[in-house]
């Protein structure tokens, strides 16, 4: 993760074609721009991280809020974190 921890309060791991990722992005709207979005198909370290917190599976979206991973969270949780 290129950004220092204080600059990445909300990190969203996603991949193209994931309908759950599209649902989250749509629900967040413009507010989603406040998150750091990482495509796990373009970042091997990101994919490894997602596997490490999801029992070896590349389940997306995996959202890290204040260093706590959430697998396919309710968009309301992510919105609240982005608004803080």
The span from the CA of 15 to the CA of 2, in Å, is: 18
Mean pLDDT, the chain, integer: 91
Share of the chain above pLDDT 90, in %: 85
Q: Which domains does the chain have, with CATH numbers?
A: 7-83 (3.40.30.10)
pLDDT at 1: 45
HSE (CB half, 13 Å, CA atoms) of 33? 3
CA distances in angstroms from 27 to 10, 23, 80, listed in the order given: 15, 6, 12
Dihedral angle of Cα 42, 71, 59, 61, to the nearest 10 degrees = -40
Mean pLDDT of 20-24: 97
Round the CA-based radius of gyration of the chain to a whole number and report it. 12
Q: What are phi and psi of 13, to 5 degrees?
A: -90, 130
Summarize pLDDT for 51-73 with one digit per residue, the tens: 999 999 999 999 999 899 999 99
């Amino acid at each position: 993760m290129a950004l220092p921890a204080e600059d990445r309060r909300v990190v969203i791991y996603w991949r193209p074609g994931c309908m759950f990722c599209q649902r989250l992005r749509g629900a967040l709207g413009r507010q989603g721009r406040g998150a750091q979005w990482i495509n796990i198909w373009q970042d091997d370290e990101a994919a490894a991280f997602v596997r490490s917190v999801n029992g070896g599976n590349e389940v997306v979206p995996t959202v890290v809020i204040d260093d706590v991973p959430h697998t396919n969270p309710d968009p309301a949780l992510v919105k609240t974190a982005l608004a803080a």
